[in-house]
Amino acid sequence: MYQWIRRGAAGMLAAAALLWGLNLWYGASLPDRYYVSQGEDLVLTQRAVVAVEESSDQQAVMSSTRPQNQTLSLFGIMPIKTVAVQECEDLTVIPSGEAFGVKMFSQGAVVVGFSPVVTAQGTVEPYSGCDIQEGDIICKVNQKEVSRNEEISYLIRQSGGEPLEITLQREDGEHTVTLTPALSSADGTYKSGLWIRDSAAGIGTITFINGETGTFAGLGHPITDPDTGTILPVESGEVCPVTIHSITKGAVGEPGELDGVFSSNIPMGNILVNNQCGVYGTLTGLDLDGVEPVELGYKQEVEAGPATILCALTDQEPQEYDIEICSVSMNGEDDTRNLVIKVTDPDLLDKTGGIVQGMSGTPILQNGKLVGAVTHVFVNDPTMGYGIFAETMMEYMEEIALETE
Q: Which residues have a catalytic role annotated?
A: 221, 345, 360
CA 356 to chain centre: 17
204 bridge partner residues: 100
CA dist., res. 153 & res. 156, Å (int): 5
CA 8 to chain centre: 51
- What is the layout of strands, in order, in the sheet containing 356-357? 242-248, 256-262, 356-357
Residue 72, CA atoms < 13 Å, CB-side half-sphere: 28
Nearest-10 Cα torsion for 367, 373, 378, 381: 40
Cβ neighbors of 142 (< 8 A, separation 6 or more) are 155, 164, 165
CA dist., res. 23 & res. 401, Å (int): 38
Cβ neighbors of 199 (< 8 A, separation 6 or more) are 103, 104, 105, 106
DSSP state at residue 150: H
- Least Cα distance to 111 among 58, 33, 177 occurs for 177
* Residue 12, phi-psi category: left (phi > 0), alpha (psi -120 to 50), beta (remainder): alpha
CA dist., res. 269 & res. 236, Å (int): 11
CA dist., res. 224 & res. 227, Å (int): 9
